[in-house]
């Protein structure tokens, strides 16, 4: 302080008094410069032009007198420390000025250099403290205002809870969603507001947050009877000593987004085939348990679709459903996709990422094409199934997750085990309940139902005004096709047929199945000496008619459609080929 070159503004109309002050000060310190003005209006002007460290202010000036002089100067320069100079007879004014914000007062004639230097020094120090506090308060106010803007304007629900999980603050979005005023929440627990059943699961999650975890999860709750799906993040709320004093939660309503996820309809009895009826019964039975499920079946037969069916019929229906296709994820990324990673766990891991297993908290995770999982990840998955805990890639902390696993594969896992490509222990662990999904060709009775359902769905997807009609011949062909690509192929064929038919009536020619039918059987061509072209043509015709009859399960009507001839022509053909034609 002593070495600082102080810039002092002396507001004093009496030049002798001003000189005395300056000289007194010079005895105490060498580095300062004094600028003297006689009028208050000049003081104001100087302050505008220049920065001063302190003002020495006489209260009796030609243009202002008494305490008003201080008030005006202080109002104009609230951050500048002011030391008031009072006369011997008006010391009380000095005291009053200090009460109003002056940093000190000195009585003229009783002030030596030491007292003056000290008064200036402390005035500057005190004013700095005042200014710092003011800046801090301003910053705090600003941050509070910013917080308030976010808190009040957010479309997401934001709330704070104390350690006993009682609400201490809720934002307007939350009031709107629940149609309750904020004071109906304050001091109450979620259970008291929403009921034990609705929010029983949050107790467990929030207990973990109070231990320091940040948890993000997805769930569906009934709010005023309407299911609403939320993605909710909860973080611990800490005080200045880093102690957890409660939690803060942010919940976003993602109901609209979820509507685009296809959820299988609740029609267990919709299938006609006995084999699918049995499969559905097993799926329902499995859904009601908590065990891991293994779905087996050819590609496209509906393993993903039925895994969702299990999820929506399980106790976890309100939780999230996630699926990963192990064959579609690059092996080097699969671990992080499944288990997540910590920041910097590997090149490119810029931030912390939560894996699908964590995201499926409270819900179900489908591991499709599980046979493609590397042996290392098989081991990690096994540990998770045994302990319900895992580590993120590059992470040291064990994370516990309450997610149900469904594994699916089109491979013969037993063979994979024999060849050493799949861990035996994991196979047993996954195989608690295994369900085989029959290929479409083994449940042809279901095809008309599936076709109608899919056409109705495609119609709503492309927003067609009327329901497209499918000709009986086309339906027969669909029922009789061998469907190597299963339900997926059926859907693709229908989608293409709708396009080709201009979204109107689908007939046989729109299906494009004819080529595939001919691919299915082969004919070796040779020319035996003992047979004529007529004989061979007759044989080929017989084979075609027999095949058509087989595919239409002996129906003459169906066979005629497949062959593209009338029922009358088929009868004629069959008679000429010496085949029996029984009426349907
Ligand atoms: N029973 C069904 N009803 C309606 N659509 C279905 C049904 N089963 C499957 N699908 C549809 O068929 C397509 C293929 O089904 P899905 O993806 O479930 O087969 P997948 O067996 O999991 O195939 P992959 O083994 O190739 O992964 C999807 O578009 C799905 O919606």
Residue 303 Cβ inside 6 Å of ligand 1? The answer reads: yes
What does each C-alpha distance from 135 to 48, 121, 129, 131, 132 come to in angstroms?
A: 21, 21, 10, 6, 5
Residue 319 Cβ inside 6 Å of ligand 1? The answer reads: no
Residue 202 Cβ inside 6 Å of ligand 1? The answer reads: no
pTM for this model (two decimals): 0.55
Q: Of 268, 298, 300, which is best to mutate to test ligand 1, by the most ligand atoms within 8 angstroms of its C-beta? A: 300
- Distance in Å, CA 228 to ligand 1 centroid: 26
Residue 310 Cβ inside 6 Å of ligand 1? The answer reads: no
Per-residue pLDDT for the chain (584 aa), expressed as one digit of tens each? 455 688 999 999 999 888 888 888 888 877 889 999 999 999 999 999 999 999 999 999 999 999 999 999 999 999 999 999 988 778 889 999 999 999 999 998 787 888 888 899 899 998 889 888 989 999 999 988 988 888 888 889 999 999 999 999 999 999 988 889 999 999 999 888 877 766 666 887 898 899 998 888 887 777 776 777 888 899 999 998 999 999 999 999 887 665 544 445 555 678 889 999 999 999 999 998 989 999 999 989 999 999 999 998 898 888 889 999 888 888 778 898 899 888 876 766 667 788 899 889 889 999 999 999 999 999 999 999 999 999 988 888 888 899 999 999 998 999 999 999 999 999 999 998 999 999 999 999 999 999 998 998 888 887 777 788 889 889 999 998 989 889 999 999 998 888 888 767 888 888 887 544 444 455 556 666 677 788 778 888 888 888 888 777 778 888 888 887 888 888 888 888 887 776 65
Residue 439 Cβ inside 6 Å of ligand 1? The answer reads: no
CB burial of residue 496 (10 Å; 0-12, 13-18, 19+): middle
Closest approach atom of ligand 1 to CA 409: 25
- Distance in Å, CA 494 to ligand 1 centroid: 14
What does each C-alpha distance from 469 to 52, 105, 243, 444, 505 come to in angstroms?
A: 90, 99, 67, 20, 5
- Distance in Å, CA 335 to ligand 1 centroid: 25
Residue 450 Cβ inside 6 Å of ligand 1? The answer reads: yes
Q: List strand residue ranges (DSSP E) for 75-156, in order.
A: 82-86, 104-107
Q: Which residues pair with 391 in a beta bridge?
A: 398
d(CA 478, CA 114): 108
Residue 301 Cβ inside 6 Å of ligand 1? The answer reads: yes
d(CA 413, CA 423): 9
ipTM above 0.90, yes or no: yes
- Distance in Å, CA 491 to ligand 1 centroid: 9
- Distance in Å, CA 300 to ligand 1 centroid: 5
Residue 270 Cβ inside 6 Å of ligand 1? The answer reads: no
CA neighbours within 13 Å on the CB side: how many for 481?
Answer: 25
- Which residues are CB-contacts of 274 (< 8 A; sequence separation ≥ 6)? none
- Distance in Å, CA 485 to ligand 1 centroid: 10
- Distance in Å, CA 490 to ligand 1 centroid: 10
């Amino acid at each position: 302080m002593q070495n600082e070159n102080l810039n002092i503004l002396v507001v004093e109309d009496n030049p002798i008094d001003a000189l005395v002050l300056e000289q007194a000060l010079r005895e105490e310190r060498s580095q300062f410069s004094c600028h003297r003005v006689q009028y208050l209006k000049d003081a104001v002007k100087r302050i505008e032009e220049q920065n001063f460290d302190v003002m020495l202010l006489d209260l009796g000036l030609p243009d202002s007198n008494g305490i008003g002089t201080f008030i005006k100067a202080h109002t104009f320069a609230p951050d500048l420390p002011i030391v008031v100079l009072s006369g011997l007879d008006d010391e009380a004014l000095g005291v009053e000025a200090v009460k109003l914000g002056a940093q000190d007062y000195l009585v003229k004639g009783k002030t030596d250099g030491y007292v003056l230097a000290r008064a200036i020094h402390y005035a500057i120090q005190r004013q700095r403290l005042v200014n710092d506090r003011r800046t801090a308060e301003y910053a705090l106010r600003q941050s509070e205002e910013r917080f308030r803007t976010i808190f009040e304007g957010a479309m997401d629900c934001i709330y704070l809870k104390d350690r006993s999980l009682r609400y201490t603050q809720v934002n307007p979005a939350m009031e709107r969603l629940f149609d309750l005023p904020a004071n109906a929440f304050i001091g109450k627990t979620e259970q008291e507001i929403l009921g034990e059943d609705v929010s029983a699961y949050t107790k467990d999650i929030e207990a973990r947050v109070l231990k320091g975890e940040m948890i993000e999860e997805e769930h569906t709750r009934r709010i005023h009877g309407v299911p609403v799906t939320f993605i909710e993040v909860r973080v611990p709320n800490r005080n200045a000593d880093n102690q957890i004093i409660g939690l803060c939660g942010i919940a976003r309503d993602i109901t609209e987004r979820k509507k685009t996820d296809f959820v299988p309809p609740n029609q267990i009895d919709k299938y006609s085939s006995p084999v699918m009826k049995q499969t559905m019964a097993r799926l329902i039975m499995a859904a009601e348990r908590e065990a891991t499920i293994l779905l087996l079946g050819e590609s496209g037969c509906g393993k993903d679709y039925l895994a969702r069916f299990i999820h929506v019929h399980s106790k976890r229906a309100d939780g999230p459903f996630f699926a990963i296709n192990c064959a579609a994820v690059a092996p080097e990324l699969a671990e992080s996709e499944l288990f997540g990673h910590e920041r910097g766990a590997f090149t490119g891991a810029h931030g912390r990422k939560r894996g699908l297993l964590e995201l499926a908290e409270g819900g179900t995770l489908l591991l499709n094409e599980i046979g493609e999982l590397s042996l290392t990840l098989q081991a990690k998955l096994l540990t998770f199934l045994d302990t319900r805990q895992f580590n993120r890639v590059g992470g040291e902390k064990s994370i516990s997750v309450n997610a149900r696993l469904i594994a699916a594969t089109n491979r013969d896992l037993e063979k994979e085990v024999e060849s050493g490509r799949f861990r035996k222990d994991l196979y047993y662990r996954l195989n608690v309940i295994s369900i085989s999904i029959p290929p479409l060709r083994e449940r042809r009775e279901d095809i008309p139902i599936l076709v109608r359902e899919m056409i109705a769905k495609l119609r709503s997807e492309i927003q067609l005004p009327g329901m497209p009609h499918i000709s009986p011949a086309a339906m027969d062909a669909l029922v009789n096709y061998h469907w190597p690509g299963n339900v997926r192929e059926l859907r693709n064929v229908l989608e293409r047929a709708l396009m080709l038919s201009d979204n109107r009536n689908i007939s046989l020619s729109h299906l494009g199945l004819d080529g595939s039918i001919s691919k299915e059987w082969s004919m070796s061509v040779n020319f035996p000496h003992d047979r004529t072209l007529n004989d061979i043509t007759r044989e080929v015709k017989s084979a075609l008619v027999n095949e058509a009859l087989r595919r239409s399960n002996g129906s003459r009507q169906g066979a005629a459609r497949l062959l593209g001839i009338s029922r009358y022509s088929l009868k004629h053909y069959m008679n000429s080929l010496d085949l029996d034609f029984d009426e349907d």
